Structure 1
């Protein structure tokens, strides 16, 4: 655990806030988020060279994904991306 707090909400608002946060996460490129999580988890027990190699490999995989292409297209077209997790 990193022991980080990003927000504090009233108990009555917690369920709604959690549902909104889940919706935002679900709209993100889930495959890339998963890769990022794995990189962060490995960072604490890896040397710099190993971590840089892992990151380069992950970037190579991510840039070949449909979600990457969608993100670039959405940016260029000035619209919200519609990620599929692929």
Structure 2
């Protein structure tokens, strides 16, 4: 059973102000949730494979192969403003 003091401590850790009346209500609700977890702990899952994803997903990443890059002139052709061979952007502070 979660106590009112434990709820207040959790609220303090989360930087949430909890009234005394709400603390009693939250303590009851949290205790109910933890009781459900206790029921789950009693279930025998020794023959159940761990499920990491609901669908059988395999690595879909392609092998990283270096390829040629665009030529500087082709890239700069799309830029609004160019300065000394670079794309000029607004100064952000």
Identify which of structures 1 and 2 has the higher relative contact order when contacts are C-alpha pairs closer than 8 Å and 6+ apart: 1
Find the structure with the greater CA-based Rg: 2
Point out the structure with the larger helix share. 1
Point out the structure with the larger strand share. 2
Q: Same fold (TM over 0.5)?
A: no
**TM-score for both structures, normalised by structure 2:** 0.27
